[in-house]
Amino acid sequence: MEEHDKFKSQIRSIYRLLTTLMVLFGITALAVVYLISDPTLSFFKEPTPVEEYAVVPSEDDFDKIENGIHVRTGFKDSEGLMAVVNNCTNCHSAQLVIQNRMNAERWKATILWMQETQNLWDLGKNEDIIVNYLVTNYPPQKKGRREILRDISWYDLKE
């Protein structure tokens, strides 16, 4: 009987040891997972105050021109720039305007199309200013993707 009790208590202590190991392992695993998701332990630190209004550019930066480009929109700086910025960037990005190169007639037709179908307002006196700006700065591109090859000196392929 004594043998049996001894055996029982041995089993119990092994069991306790295993349980302790499992608990330690669990805690370590949790710590590792936490460290992976928050390596700087920022959860335990005072949050750094976020500066309010940090993203709103100052009045000067808002219409800044850099290297002849209106930074906020990407339009070229030229006569009529602000009329274009104020009327043509409300619904879509300036890029949509810039990447379309047309002559005056087609610019007018595009504006008319937007007025008839997209709720673009009457541009009044600004229309001429805007069309003038667009043809001056974004005229149709005469050249295609590359010039036609001319005066090519072909060479014979040797075997």
| Nearest to ligand HEC of 52, 101 (CB atom) | 101
Cβ burial, residue 157 (10 Å; 0-12/13-18/19+): exposed
Among 70, 130, 135, 137, which residue interacts with ligand HEC (rule: CB under 6 A)?
A: 130
The contacts of residue 118 (CB under 8 Å, 6+ apart) are 91
Among 14, 24, 35, 91, which residue interacts with ligand HEC (rule: CB under 6 A)?
A: 91
Query: 137 φ, ψ to 5°?
Result: -95, -30
| Nearest to ligand HEC of 43, 117 (CB atom) | 117
**What x/- string results for residues 96 through 125 when contact with ligand HEC is judged by CB under 6 A?**
xx--x---------xx--x---xxx-----
**What x/- string results for residues 47 through 86 when contact with ligand HEC is judged by CB under 6 A?**
----------------------------------------
Which value, in Å, is the radius of gyration of the alpha carbons in the chain?
A: 36
Query: 69 φ, ψ to 5°?
Result: -120, 135
